[in-house]
């Protein structure tokens, strides 16, 4: 089945203890689409970029089989730009620059032929933009997955709650889950968040793995143990993209299949963090994916 992805396509400039980049390809929509394309999902991307956005990046997305006709190019404006600096051990980061540019007035137009797409993945964006996408669909998709972040909890609480009430799966990190629910216990947090609408709650804990909650069921996927992490940028988006892509490819949204999708998501995120930006996601060998999937299963085989 097809997967409609809505999310930013951006320029990032990243500094980590391992190095520094100029403007490179970034954005939630980019990471999500790349990750889901590896799951062999049929991906359609809705986004917006400026006239400064390099053609080679659009070509890269196309080369991965991603349908980019939903990317609006505003020739006289500039692409969304984010710059950040990670501290020791990557556990915290400072945002150095955020230039919204085209994203500031992003009004997503879902192309007619996308409006029946069965799987919808809403990357981290303003909750009203996310909702506008849902409202353009001809019918409720089989599964809507959303990502969000603390910024929207701080600034657009009511809008955010409204959007959350319309989705099936929410994917957020542990701090965000705690902020959203007001509960420190992730068990309680997931329960409260589920009462806000989503029947499935994913809580990402970075190097500590991820949790999948649905009704009384819980599944835990560990994170791959890696020799080193170069750049965590996009890991959460990659995770969400791997999850949604896996489900869309199979068309199966059972809890059993979601377990597998979570493991797949964890594997994809492990590739993302090993290189700067999207570099780790551009060329992944299917054998490498299979090997890591086997290693991850082995870690929890009992």
**Helix, strand, coil shares, percent, the chain, to 5:** 40, 25, 30
d(CA 107, CA 122): 14
Closest to its own copies by CB, 78 vs 259, is: 259
Is residue 297 a contact residue for its own copies (CB under 8 A)?
A: yes
Single residue of 95, 105, 138, 185 touching its own copies by CB under 8 A? 185
222 binds its own copies, rule: CB under 8 A: yes
Contact between 250 and its own copies by CB under 8 A: the answer reads no
**What's the DSSP call for residue 301?**
-
Under the binding rule (CB under 8 A), the answer on residue 299 touching its own copies is: yes
CA angle 114, 135, 262 (to 5 degrees): 70
Would you tell me how many other CB atoms lie within 10 Å of the CB of residue 219?
18
Cβ proximity to its own copies, 117 vs 173, nearer residue: 173
Q: Per-residue x/- marks for its own copies, 70-109, CB under 8 A?
A: -------------------x--------------------
Applying CB under 8 A, the span of 7-15, 112-120, 216-224, 280-288 interacting with its own copies comes to: 216-224
Q: Which stretch binds its own copies (CB under 8 A): 38-46, 127-135, 255-263, 264-272?
A: 255-263
Q: Does 195 help bind its own copies (rule: CB under 8 A)?
A: no
Sorted by sequence, the CB contacts under 8 Å of residue 169 that are 6+ apart come out as 143, 144, 145, 146, 198, 199, 200, 201, 202, 243
Q: Which residues pair with 97 in a beta bridge?
A: 83
* 188 forms part of the interface with its own copies (CB under 8 A): yes
**Rounded to whole angstroms, how far apart are CA atoms 95 and 73?**
26
From the CA atom positions of the chain, what is the Rg in Å?
Answer: 18
Nearer to its own copies, 115 or 217 (CB): 217
Residues of this chain that interact with its own copies (CB under 8 A) are: 89, 184-188, 205, 208-209, 211, 217-220, 222, 225-229, 259-260, 263, 295, 297-302
């Amino acid at each position: 089945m097809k997967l409609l992805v809505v999310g930013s396509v951006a320029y990032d400039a990243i500094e980590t203890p391992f190095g520094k980049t100029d403007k490179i390809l970034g954005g939630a929509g980019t990471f999500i689409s790349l990750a889901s394309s590896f799951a062999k999902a049929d991906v359609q991307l809705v986004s917006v970029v400026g006239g400064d956005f390099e053609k080679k990046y659009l070509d890269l997305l196309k080369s991965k089989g991603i349908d980019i006709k939903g990317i609006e190019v505003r020739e006289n404006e500039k692409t969304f730009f984010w710059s950040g600096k990670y501290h020791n051990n990557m556990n915290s980061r400072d945002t150095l620059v955020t230039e919204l540019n085209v994203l500031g007035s992003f009004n997503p137009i879902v192309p007619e032929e996308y409006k029946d797409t069965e799987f919808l993945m809403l990357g981290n964006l303003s909750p009203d933009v996310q909702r506008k996408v849902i409202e353009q669909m001809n019918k409720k998709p089989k599964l809507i997955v959303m990502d969000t972040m603390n910024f929207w909890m701080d600034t657009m609480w009511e809008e955010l709650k409204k959007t959350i009430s319309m989705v099936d799966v929410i994917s957020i990190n542990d701090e965000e889950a705690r902020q959203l629910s007001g509960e420190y216990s992730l068990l309680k947090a997931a329960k409260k968040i589920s009462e806000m609408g989503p029947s499935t709650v994913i809580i990402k804990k970075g190097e500590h793995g991820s949790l999948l909650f649905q009704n009384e069921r819980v599944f835990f996927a560990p994170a791959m143990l890696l020799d080193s992490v170069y750049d965590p940028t996009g890991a959460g988006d990659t995770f969400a993209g791997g999850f949604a892509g896996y489900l869309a490819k199979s068309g199966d949204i059972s809890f059993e299949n979601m377990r597998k999708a979570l493991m797949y998501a964890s594997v994809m995120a492990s590739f993302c963090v090993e290189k700067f930006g999207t570099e780790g996601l551009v060329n992944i060998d299917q054998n490498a994916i299979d090997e890591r999937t086997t290693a991850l299963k082995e870690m929890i085989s009992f």
